């Protein structure tokens, strides 16, 4: 079995050596331009079109959770990957716990008013502020998939009401599930902290706009852990200016790196991280990939297959 590997920044040697340990029978090589030798599987992240174009592969694994980039390449280069070649994505592989860390820490930061105390500190003011009540701090998660559901579960022990919105209804103990466009309004009403963990698709791009933000509770918070294109930045800035949104924590942006002249940089109630909410963990990813390839070779059913039409 031959596997080709491409990632613009990962340590190829580590990945190839670890893949060899997980799959001793496989020959894994780092793909380089001009390599047209046969392969059975490709492990890729933002691959050059020529790496996949015209290849007969048993499967392609995206080395991340979101597949919008590779699907975007596919739509721009139709011949890049034959329709009958399955595309897989990583499900959790160490990203779930990272998302939990990020979300819980930020929700608690806002709930305990550390953002307000930082402002008082800068004014050298010693002042105790009125505490928020858990009941007034409903957390609503857009996207209740692998990562969104883990984030939802991690917030429950802290006493917050937690709800989620997804394409289909979910059964997550203690978490109110809202499903489909017809229930988005009910999901938003009363949501104080909005956390985005949706995939970037034609249905979700630009979803977090003025209309959606206006439906949130007063003095709400927005945390974007998914993709920058989900947020209409001008609308978020307007909601911050009006006070409808009290604070934002953004890990992803419509352009990355974020251009220096973007007003989000200087906004006093916007905190930012440079797309670091959750990294692919090599060991967990290789375990997932090697198990999945093993199942594929045995003709067994597998999870993680991307629905190219649906977009995730
Ligand atoms: N900032 C970062 O470092 C990272 C960001 N991500 C982002 O997180 C996203 C989610 O990852 P997973 O949870 O693994 O994805 P997933 O595919 O397991 O879950 C997606 C969820 O979104 C819902 N959804 C999709 N389209 C919808 C629609 N039109 N209306 C309502 N609900 C819809 C689905 O029902 C599902 O619950 C990824 O697509 C990626 O963009 C993932 C990893 C790291
Ligand atoms: O896995 C993903 O989709 C990511 O955004 C990793 O950066």
Which ligand ends up closest to the CA of 45?
A: 2
Q: What is the pLDDT of residues 22-42, one digit of tens each?
A: 999 999 999 999 999 999 999
Q: Do 65 and 214 fall into the same domain? A: no
Question: Could you tell me if residue 113 is inside a domain?
Answer: yes
Q: Do 81 and 101 fall into the same domain? A: no
* Banded model confidence at residue 127, pLDDT cuts 50, 70, 90: very high
What is the mean predicted confidence (pLDDT) over 114-129? Answer: 98
CA gap 257, 250 in Å, rounded: 13
CB neighbourhood size of 99 (10 A) = 23
CA gap 225, 223 in Å, rounded: 6
Q: What was the pLDDT predicted at 217?
A: 98
- Percentage of the chain exceeding pLDDT 70: 100
Q: What was the pLDDT predicted at 130?
A: 98
Asked if residues 220 and 245 have their Cβ atoms less than 8 Å apart, the reply is: yes
Q: What was the pLDDT predicted at 238?
A: 98
Residue with tokens 């105790």: 128
CATH number assigned to the domain comprising residue 52 = 3.40.50.720
What is the mean predicted confidence (pLDDT) over 261-283? Answer: 97
* Banded model confidence at residue 181, pLDDT cuts 50, 70, 90: very high
Q: Do 213 and 289 fall into the same domain? A: no
Q: Do 85 and 154 fall into the same domain? A: no
Instruction: State the catalytic residue, choosing from 275, 281, 305, 308.
Output: 275
Residue with tokens 């209309």: 211
Q: Do 87 and 165 fall into the same domain? A: no
227 is catalytic: yes
* Banded model confidence at residue 177, pLDDT cuts 50, 70, 90: very high
Q: Which residues of 128-148 are buried (b: 16+ CB within 10 A; e: fewer)?
A: eeeeeeeeebbbbbbbbbbbb
Q: Quote the mean pLDDT of the chain.
A: 97
pTM for this structure?
Answer: 0.98
Q: Do 87 and 60 fall into the same domain? A: yes
Judging by DSSP bridges, how do beta strands 2-6 and 162-166 pair with one another?
unpaired
Please return the burial class of 85, using the count of CB atoms within 10 Å of its CB with bins 0-12, 13-18 and 19+.
middle
Which ligand ends up closest to the CA of 306?
A: 1
DSSP-assigned beta bridge partners for residue 62: 44
In terms of residue numbers, what domain contains 238? 95-272
Question: Could you tell me if residue 310 is inside a domain?
Answer: no
Q: Do 263 and 292 fall into the same domain? A: no
CA gap 61, 90 in Å, rounded: 8
- The closest-lying atom of ligand 1 relative to the alpha carbon of residue 251 is 1
Please return the burial class of 259, using the count of CB atoms within 10 Å of its CB with bins 0-12, 13-18 and 19+.
exposed
In the structure, which protein residues have their CB atom closer than 6 angstroms to any atom of ligand 2? Answer: 64-66, 275, 280
CA gap 51, 123 in Å, rounded: 56
Question: Which residue is closest in CA terms to ligand 2's atom 5?
Answer: 66
What is the mean predicted confidence (pLDDT) over 210-232? Answer: 98
Question: Could you tell me if residue 304 is inside a domain?
Answer: no
Tell which one of 45, 64, 92 to mutate to probe ligand 2, the residue whose CB is within 8 A of the most ligand atoms: 64
Q: What was the pLDDT predicted at 37?
A: 97
User: How far does residue 216's CA lie from ligand 2's centre (Å)?
Assistant: 27
Which ligand ends up closest to the CA of 8?
A: 2
Question: Could you tell me if residue 312 is inside a domain?
Answer: no
* Domain count within the chain: 2
Q: How many CA atoms lie within 13 A of 264 on its CB side?
A: 27
In the sheet with 59-62, reading across from the earlier edge strand, the strands are: 27-30, 2-6, 41-44, 59-62, 87-88
Question: Could you tell me if residue 246 is inside a domain?
Answer: yes
Question: Could you tell me if residue 230 is inside a domain?
Answer: yes
Question: Which residue is closest in CA terms to ligand 2's atom 7?
Answer: 279
Q: Do 6 and 47 fall into the same domain? A: yes
Question: Could you tell me if residue 309 is inside a domain?
Answer: no
Q: Do 132 and 81 fall into the same domain? A: no
Q: Do 116 and 38 fall into the same domain? A: no
Q: Do 89 and 14 fall into the same domain? A: yes
Tell which one of 46, 62, 65 to mutate to probe ligand 1, the residue whose CB is within 8 A of the most ligand atoms: 65
Q: What was the pLDDT predicted at 112?
A: 98
**Dihedral angle sign, alpha carbons of residues 144, 138, 202, 250:** negative
Q: What was the pLDDT predicted at 207?
A: 98
Q: What is the pLDDT of residues 41-68, one digit of tens each?
A: 999 999 999 999 999 999 999 999 999 9
Q: What was the pLDDT predicted at 182?
A: 98
Asked if residues 23 and 293 have their Cβ atoms less than 8 Å apart, the reply is: yes
DSSP-assigned beta bridge partners for residue 163: 140, 176
User: How far does residue 121's CA lie from ligand 2's centre (Å)?
Assistant: 35
In the structure, which protein residues have their CB atom closer than 6 angstroms to any atom of ligand 1? Answer: 65-66, 95, 143-148, 165-167, 197-201, 203-204, 225-227, 251-252, 275, 277-278, 312
Q: What was the pLDDT predicted at 208?
A: 99
Tabulate helix, strand, coil % of the chain (nearest 5).
Answer: 35, 20, 45
Q: Which residues of 208-222 are buried (b: 16+ CB within 10 A; e: fewer)?
A: beeebbebbbeebbb
**H or E stretch including 233?**
helix 233-242
Q: Do 101 and 242 fall into the same domain? A: yes
Please return the burial class of 149, using the count of CB atoms within 10 Å of its CB with bins 0-12, 13-18 and 19+.
buried
Question: Could you tell me if residue 44 is inside a domain?
Answer: yes
């Amino acid at each position: 079995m031959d596997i080709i590997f491409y990632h613009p920044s990962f340590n190829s040697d580590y990945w190839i050596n670890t893949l060899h340990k997980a799959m001793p029978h496989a020959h894994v090589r780092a793909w380089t331009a001009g390599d047209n030798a046969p392969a059975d599987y490709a492990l890729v992240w933002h691959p050059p079109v020529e790496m996949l174009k015209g290849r007969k592969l048993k499967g392609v694994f995206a080395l991340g959770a979101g597949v919008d980039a590779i699907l975007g390449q596919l739509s721009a280069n139709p011949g890049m990957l034959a329709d009958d070649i399955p595309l897989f994505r990583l499900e959790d592989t160490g990203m779930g716990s990272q998302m939990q860390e990020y979300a819980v820490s930020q929700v608690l930061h806002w709930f305990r008013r550390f953002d307000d105390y930082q402002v008082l500190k800068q004014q050298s003011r010693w002042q105790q502020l009125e505490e928020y009540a858990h009941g007034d701090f409903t957390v609503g998660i857009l996207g209740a998939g692998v990562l969104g559901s883990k984030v939802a579960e991690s917030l429950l022990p802290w006493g917050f009401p937690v709800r989620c919105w997804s394409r289909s209804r979910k059964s997550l103990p203690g978490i109110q599930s809202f499903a489909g466009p017809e229930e988005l309004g009910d999901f938003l009403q009363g949501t104080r902290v909005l956390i985005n963990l949706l995939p970037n698709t034609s249905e979700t791009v630009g979803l977090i706009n003025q209309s959606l933000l206006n439906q949130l509770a007063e003095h709400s918070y927005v945390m974007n852990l998914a993709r920058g294109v989900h947020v209409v930045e001008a609308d978020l800035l307007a909601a911050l200016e009006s006070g409808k949104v009290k604070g934002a924590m953004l890990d992803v942006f419509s352009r990355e790196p974020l251009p220096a002249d973007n007003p989000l940089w200087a906004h006093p109630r916007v905190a930012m991280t440079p797309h670091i909410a959750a990294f692919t963990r090599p060991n967990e990813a290789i375990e997932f990939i090697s198990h999945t390839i093993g199942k594929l070779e045995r003709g067994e059913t597998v999870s993680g297959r991307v629905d190219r039409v649906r977009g995730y």
